[in-house]
Structure 1
């Protein structure tokens, strides 16, 4: 009886792990599939448990299958925990913080204190006019004298603050929520750095049509931005409402961009309000012509997301193409 029960539970665990690995490669056309994709890291954890259960059930061939699935899971997720090596070229380090302010509910004083101590460039999403005023009153403009902000009601506000001069900026149209781009002149870096603050439409609980349209359009925008930047670094920070286990998100990396959560594991950022512990990583900092020295999540009191803070290395010896 024990062997039968262990076998049944082991098969269920093996099936869950296989679903977790497989869903990473399928089109996300329905919300249930998207939810399963978001849960993929947890489903894959069922593989080693399945191996033990099938061993108890003496199902030797299935044990080998479960071990193989476990190894596949390790190969998929281990790179996210590997700390990057030292830079191979001379570079300038720039600290970038991105945070969804939770429809403006983040504590302004706490956020300004965090940003002032930890960041050189700050990208925010869901910034209401009240939140923008609160940040300014708390000293954000004094710590970051250059800014491009577009406060708006509910989830539509967005902005960028910088310690370094913003020499050009503009809005990127065609998305459900506003997106802004800037050129920032960083001392020691030959070519001005392009920085985007992005917020893709949420795929849940509302219908996911806007999200699918946004994330489907974004590779083209990133390609265009990358070509315009030439040899300059590109930093794309914000709330993508997508995890690294979703195929449409990984498609964003096909044009030479990398996700900066190196060494940060799953970098879970949402949900984080109240007693919630973050379960999924939907906030990202993508870079091109640069790399990450480190990345970690940080607490933002009052917001429903944790912030994502990355130290980036921007090569010094660049010439515009």
Structure 2
């Protein structure tokens, strides 16, 4: 019985590891990759099961798979060396659940934790409410509100010199150039949102495939900081393909581990790390999650050293 259990656990772990490196051509592969941090726990559990049943060859196989699992998961908990110099920027990214997030909660989140606030699922009604509430502390903004989940926006304490939107993305991509004190070059900040693959898989795959080339087309004359709900975890291959040409995962830079953000409005803790801060020519030195009343996502609160 223990041998059968061990083989089942080993098969689950191996399939999850394979999903992590396989293009997400369908929802099942995507789900397997997103859940792989949990499913790959089958490898060390298989070691125990085979050990109890004294199948030593299988113990060795499961142990090797366990080492591989540790090798792919551990780097996100180690972090990058903190820069010796550079200006610190407080950056917050938050999904606002179809505009249902509490405006007072979002305002308090920004006031306490942000120099720049990036949001997704920004509706016209919530955009108007937040613009009034944030006007004193965040006088600069670049906003693209839309009904339900298609709106994105940016609010800044610091001057925005230019902004724009890439309308090829179904749920929005907005960008702005910001004059951050202590930084010679202007900082480019973005907010974007990929469709949910459960209900719009084809749109999700199209948009996240398009995102990489769009990021590589951005000017390279200053730091870049991106706040995004990508509906993809770090274990999804398409997410990791974004991390080229100098782009880095902020959670991995900070050694924050798997920053689970969704769903945050149910009894159990969030399971999926679908919200991200991505940087280029900048380093996230701290990152954590914070609850936002009325949303089904936790917000990401980061300190980013620019330059």
TM-score by length of 2: 0.96
Aligned match for 2:260, one of 251, 256, 268 = 268
Segments of structure 2 that go 5 or more residues without pairing to the other structure are none
Aligned 8 A contact 2:138 2:157 in 1: yes
Aligned to 2:111: 116
Alpha carbons of 1:247 and 1:83: their partners in 2 closer, same or farther (altered >3 Å)?
Answer: closer
Separation in 2, partners of 1:146, 1:180: 14
TM-superposed deviation, 1:173: 2.3
Q: Indicate yes or no: 2:285 matched with 1:293.
A: yes
Separation in 1, partners of 2:59, 2:69: 15
Aligned-pair Cα RMSD in Å: 1.2
Q: How many residues are aligned here?
A: 305
Pairing of 1:130-209 with structure 2 (within 5 A) = 130-137=125-132, 139-204=133-198, 206-209=199-202
Aligned 8 A contact 1:270 1:305 in 2: yes
Aligned to 1:129: 124
Q: Indicate yes or no: 2:280 matched with 1:311.
A: no
Aligned match for 1:36, one of 32, 36, 43 = 32
2:101 is paired with a residue whose SS is coil
Q: Indicate yes or no: 2:204 matched with 1:211.
A: yes
2:304 is paired with a residue whose SS is strand
Aligned match for 2:87, one of 82, 87, 92 = 92
Deviation beyond 3 Å, 4+ runs, structure 1? none
Aligned to 2:220: 229
Q: Indicate yes or no: 2:17 matched with 1:25.
A: no
TM-superposed deviation, 1:310: 1.3
Alpha carbons of 1:274 and 1:107: their partners in 2 closer, same or farther (altered >3 Å)?
Answer: farther
1:143 is paired with a residue whose SS is coil
Separation in 2, partners of 1:84, 1:294: 11
TM-superposed deviation, 1:133: 2.4
Segments of structure 1 that go 5 or more residues without pairing to the other structure are 316-321
Aligned 8 A contact 1:297 1:307 in 2: yes
Separation in 2, partners of 1:235, 1:201: 21
TM-superposed deviation, 1:102: 0.2
TM-superposed deviation, 1:17: 1.0
Alpha carbons of 1:242 and 1:98: their partners in 2 closer, same or farther (altered >3 Å)?
Answer: same
1:264 is paired with a residue whose SS is coil
Aligned 8 A contact 1:193 1:229 in 2: no
1:278 is paired with a residue whose SS is coil
